[in-house]
Amino acid sequence: MHSIKLITTYLYTRYERFWHWLQMLLIFLLLITGFEIHGVYSLMGFEQAVEVHNFLGITWLIAFAFFVFWIFTTGEWKQYIPTTKKLLEVIHYYGFGIFKGESHPVPKRKGAKHNPLQRLTYLSLAAMLLPIQMFTGIFYWTYNSWESWGLDFLSLNVVALIHLAGAFSILAFIVVHVYMTTTGHSIFAHIKAMITGWEEIEEGEEVEDWEKASRGLCSENASAKEV
Amino acid sequence: MMFKLTHKRYVLYFLWICFLFFASTLLFANQDQDAPGLELARQVVKEAKNTTTADHSQFKALNQNFTSGPEISKACLSCHTEAAKQLKKTLHWTWLDPNSPKDNQMGKAGYSVNNFCISANAMNDHHCNECHIGWNEEGKKAEIDCLKCHGRKKINWEEVLGDYKYFAESKDPEENALAKDAQAEIHEVVQSIGRPTRKNCGSCHFSGGGGDGVKHGDLDPSLINPNKELDVHMGYDGQDFECTRCHTTIAHHVAGRIYGTPASETRHSLLEHDLEPKIMCESCHSDKPHASSSKMNDHTDKVACQACHVPVIAKVLPVQRWWDWSKAGKKKDGKPYDVNGPFGKPVYQTTKGDTKWEKNVVPKYLWFNGSIKGVTAKDMIDPSKIVKLAWPNGNRNDKNARIFPFNIHSGKQPYDTVNKTMTTPLLSGEHGYWTTFDWQDSIQRGAKYLDLPFSGKIDFVETAYVFPSTHMVSPREEALKCSQCHTRSDSRLANLAGFYMPGRDKVNIIDFAGWAIVLCSFGGIVLHALGRIFTNGRKKEE
């Protein structure tokens, strides 16, 4: 590991980083207020918690629309195409190799910032879990309009429970996600990258074709410099 | 140049976040403004002025010499020609529910049974008739007494009319002068006429059931002169509403619930229908009374306004909560006696049995579609359960039903163990229970007046009786907070099942599984981290 040369690469664009941390803040506050509404603890009071939760939810929804626009116009969506290629190797690495000091089988590269496990996780998060939270949240919020929208077959009980199950899933994801940031070549390498955009990665290995998102991706300020 | 560019971008990002929050703020705007429903109500009650066009002291008919009550009413009716005909068609006179079956008619003059003096025995229990709008206690045989509702001044008629008669017939001119004084006093009273005041209505409705605050909990003599704290509409330091402000009247029919018939089934606001009675909160406040973005407006289809805005009843005077007839009849040294308890209210009376009183009562919340189901002396009961003599109709699936606060009065009453019906003891008069303390005889006599069978075998059964809590509306600062219902423990709606309420309800398996997954994830990363620390350490040793 130490014999391999490290280079710094610009991996995350400014908007991407901004989106990541904004979303982190929103989800963090949504979880805090959401679990208060669920009666787990009492912090700001039920009424305040509901108001803040609804406000943040709508804010997140608007911000998410911009993210969707960004991901499709930049072609970044290709980074989320799921693959089983090397998936087992990645799982094997996190399960065993990491303890033996092996190298990551699919290191981060410009134009391929997600390994197969991340692709799968982030896709199910961005395309399934988060939209489920948003839709159940909207339905929860607009409970009184169900009848006029012809949605009276919905049950608040079911909607609320899906929303809650989603919240637990997101919380569990965050626990693992935050821990996984420490598995870079140094403990804070990944977090630093998400703040500055620059990540130190191992020199060498080419980005394989299947990993490539598109040509000219991340071209903004794209200059790799040696450490 | 490079710095400048970066700087510009951060400004742009900042502006973007501002836009984001501004956009979602739009959806939650107007929170600080007064709610449209409040504005609406303010417009409705603007400039309440005295609109009377008659001075009753100028009428000749009211300046004659009166020697009896019915003469006074006759004078009233000489101008108000339709009043008696109208009144005699109303529930206030008939004491019969026009919408219940004739052979088992609800009403005090019918077969209704209540938690208090039980039955009026087809108006033969004369003490009950004190509240009938007649000049004596003979029920519908009496001449109507207009002054009971329209008189602004109250005197002891028996005494004053008696004085007048006595002095007028006297040969002594000094005593004749006293007769003049008595007649002047009568004139003053009969000429002080107006729409019913809180005092007029309250003389029966605040003190029904044989005393102040026996029945309702949201109606008692404290409302004769209430402040805003007690009732935000009736408070003298606020709108100073009389009862008739909301209980509007058409041809002497006063708006309000009549047993199984709701006070209003439409709940229209006056904007939708200007001749609608003003009896519902919605009449003036609309069904969207809160600020347009407030979640509270989303509650009005399932939660009655009263549920939050009448958070507590019997705020000034105590209300009776329990009346156990089975304890009645005990004597001390062969004589009936009373024991007073807290609030100066009786806790025991030989005539009535055990009673309990309470102040600041938290109402009980039940689904209510505006009508109440009553039990009559003809209805079969199930003595193995508490007999609900009056209970709200409605459930969660009833579109017209909403969660409503109630005062529930409980007690024990005699029932016929063979016929499985409630009994109707005669209470007042020389043969009434209050004189004879003989259940058998008084029930036998009471049943006879209603032409009901009585087996002669009785026992006591627990009964319950509801009153919707709709008066004593608190100022908005005192309204219930969300968290008084949306809470895991001590929710005011803890007794209502069959629907999911955020904050109150949870499904244990989801909560358990959710926390289990979160904890497992946490345990997993801890183990993984320990593994990394341990193996890295070993490598260094090599």
All domains of chain A in start order, with CATH: 6-226 (1.20.950.20)
Which tokens go with B368?
A: 């209510």
pLDDT for A219 equals 40
pLDDT for A217 equals 42
Best of B25, B487, B525, B530 to disrupt the A interface by mutation (most A CBs within 10 Å)?
B525
Task: Give the chain B residue whose CA is nearest to the CA of A140.
Answer: B502
CA A5 to chain centre: 29
pLDDT for B456 equals 95
- What angle do the packed helices A14-37 and A189-196 form, to 10 degrees? 110
pLDDT for B6 equals 63
Give backbone dihedrals phi and psi of B89, rounded to 5 degrees, phi first: -90, -10
Closest Cα in chain A, distance from residue B399 (Å): 12
Cβ atoms of B368 and B304 within 8 Å: the answer is yes
Which tokens go with A31?
A: 């979880």
* Angle, alpha carbons B82-B85-B89 (nearest 5°): 135
The phi-psi region of residue B425 (left if phi > 0; otherwise alpha if psi is between -120 and 50; otherwise beta) is beta
Which tokens go with B234?
A: 């009736």
User: Which SS3 state, helix, strand or coil, does residue B287 take?
Assistant: coil
Task: Give the chain B residue whose CA is nearest to the CA of A50.
Answer: B295
User: Which SS3 state, helix, strand or coil, does residue B539 take?
Assistant: helix
Q: Which of residues 101-140 of A touch B (CB under 8 A)?
A: 101
Q: How far is CA B470 from CA B36, B98, B280, B395, in A?
A: 22, 24, 10, 19
Contact: B298, A144; criterion CB under 8 Å: yes
Q: Give A221's contacts (C-beta < 8 A, 6+ positions apart).
A: A10, A197
Q: Could you tell me the sign of the dihedral formed by the alpha carbons of A109, A111, A114, A120, in that order?
A: negative
Helices (H), B28-156: 36-44, 69-79, 83-87, 91-94, 147-150
Indicate the DSSP class of residue B514.
H
Which tokens go with A104?
A: 């990551």
Contact: A18, B27; criterion CB under 8 Å: no
Which tokens go with B114?
A: 């209540």
pLDDT (tens place) for every residue of chain A, 227 residues total: 445 677 788 888 888 899 999 999 999 999 999 999 999 999 999 999 999 999 999 999 999 999 899 888 988 888 888 888 888 888 888 888 888 878 788 777 777 778 888 888 888 898 899 999 999 999 999 988 898 898 888 889 999 999 999 999 999 999 999 998 988 878 888 888 888 888 877 666 556 666 655 444 444 444 443 33
Which candidate, B248, B469, B281, B217, places its Cα nearest to that of B368? B469
Q: For residue B481, list chain A residues with Cβ-Cβ distance below 8 A.
A: 45-47
How many Å from the N-terminal Cα to the C-terminal Cα in chain B?
A: 52
Q: How many C-beta atoms surround the C-beta of residue B142 within 10 A?
A: 17
Which tokens go with B107?
A: 């009403």
Cβ atoms of B450 and B421 within 8 Å: the answer is no
Is some CB atom of chain B closer than 8 A to the CB atom of A59?
yes
How many Å from the N-terminal Cα to the C-terminal Cα in chain A?
A: 15
Contact: A156, B500; criterion CB under 8 Å: yes
C-alpha span between B362 and B356 (Å, rounded): 15
Cβ atoms of B281 and B263 within 8 Å: the answer is no
Cβ atoms of B217 and B239 within 8 Å: the answer is no
Q: Give A109's contacts (C-beta < 8 A, 6+ positions apart).
A: A9, A201, A205, A206, A207, A211
pLDDT for B303 equals 96
Contact: A179, B531; criterion CB under 8 Å: no
pLDDT (tens place) for every residue of chain B, 542 residues total: 444 556 777 777 777 777 777 777 776 665 556 777 788 888 777 666 667 888 999 999 999 999 999 999 999 999 999 999 999 999 999 999 999 999 999 999 999 999 999 999 999 999 999 999 999 889 999 999 999 999 999 999 999 999 999 999 888 888 889 999 999 999 999 999 999 999 999 999 999 999 999 999 999 999 999 999 999 999 999 889 999 999 999 999 999 998 989 998 888 888 888 888 889 999 999 888 998 878 899 999 999 999 999 999 999 999 999 999 999 999 999 999 999 999 999 999 999 999 999 999 999 999 999 999 999 999 999 999 999 999 999 999 999 999 999 999 999 999 999 999 999 999 999 999 999 999 999 999 999 999 999 999 999 999 999 999 999 999 999 999 999 999 998 999 999 999 999 999 999 999 999 999 999 999 999 999 998 888 875 554 44
**b/e per residue B153-162 (b: at least 16 CB within 10 A):** eeeebeebbe
Task: Give the chain B residue whose CA is nearest to the CA of A48.
Answer: B482
Q: Which of residues 273-312 of B touch A (CB under 8 A)?
A: 295, 298, 301
Which residue of B514, B518, B521 is in closest CB contact with A164? B514
Helices (H), A11-45: 14-37
- Which tens digit of pLDDT belongs to each residue from B382-428? 999 999 999 999 999 999 999 999 999 999 999 999 999 999 999 99
Q: For residue A143, list chain B residues with Cβ-Cβ distance below 8 A.
A: 298
Which candidate, B131, B177, B161, B146, places its Cα nearest to that of B73? B146
Which residue of B24, B488, B513 is in closest CB contact with A58? B24
Q: Give B219's contacts (C-beta < 8 A, 6+ positions apart).
A: B202, B205, B206, B213, B471
Contact: B532, A59; criterion CB under 8 Å: no
- Residues listed for chain A: 227
When the pLDDT of each residue in chain B is averaged and rounded to a whole number, the result is: 91
Task: Give the chain A residue whose CA is nearest to the CA of B297.
Answer: A144
DSSP string, B222-266: GGSS--TTT-TTT-TTTT---GGGTS-EETTEE-S-BTTB-S-SS
**b/e per residue B22-50 (b: at least 16 CB within 10 A):** eebeeeeeeeeeebbbbebbeeeeeeeee
Cβ atoms of A193 and A182 within 8 Å: the answer is no
C-alpha span between B257 and B191 (Å, rounded): 32
pLDDT for B5 equals 54
Q: Which amino acid makes up residue A69?
A: F
User: Which helix (H) or strand (E) is B250 found in, with range?
Assistant: strand B249-250
Closest Cα in chain B, distance from residue A105 (Å): 18
Helices (H), B45-81: 69-79
CA B421 to chain centre: 27
Contact: A39, B9; criterion CB under 8 Å: no
Is some CB atom of chain A closer than 8 A to the CB atom of B532?
yes
Strand B387-392 vs strand B402-416: parallel, antiparallel, or unpaired?
A: unpaired
User: Which helix (H) or strand (E) is B460 found in, with range?
Assistant: strand B458-468
pLDDT for A216 equals 41
Which candidate, B462, B418, B420, B455, places its Cα nearest to that of B439? B455
Q: For residue A58, list chain B residues with Cβ-Cβ distance below 8 A.
A: 23-24, 27-28
Which residue of A37, A160, A176 is in closest CB contact with B525? A176
Is some CB atom of chain B closer than 8 A to the CB atom of A227?
no
Cβ atoms of B263 and B257 within 8 Å: the answer is yes
Is some CB atom of chain A closer than 8 A to the CB atom of B43?
no
Closest Cα in chain A, distance from residue B108 (Å): 41
Which residue of B518, B532, B535 is in closest CB contact with A168? B518
Which residue of B13, B25, B529 is in closest CB contact with A18? B13
Which residue of A54, A164, A179 is in closest CB contact with B525? A179
- The count of CB pairs under 8 A between chains A and B is 105
Q: Which amino acid makes up residue B503?
A: G
Contact: A39, B13; criterion CB under 8 Å: no
Which residue of A22, A98, A171 is in closest CB contact with B532? A98
Which tokens go with B480?
A: 């219930």
- Which tens digit of pLDDT belongs to each residue from B223-267? 999 999 999 999 999 889 999 999 999 999 999 998 989 998 888
Which tokens go with B482?
A: 């969300």
C-alpha span between A68 and A63 (Å, rounded): 9
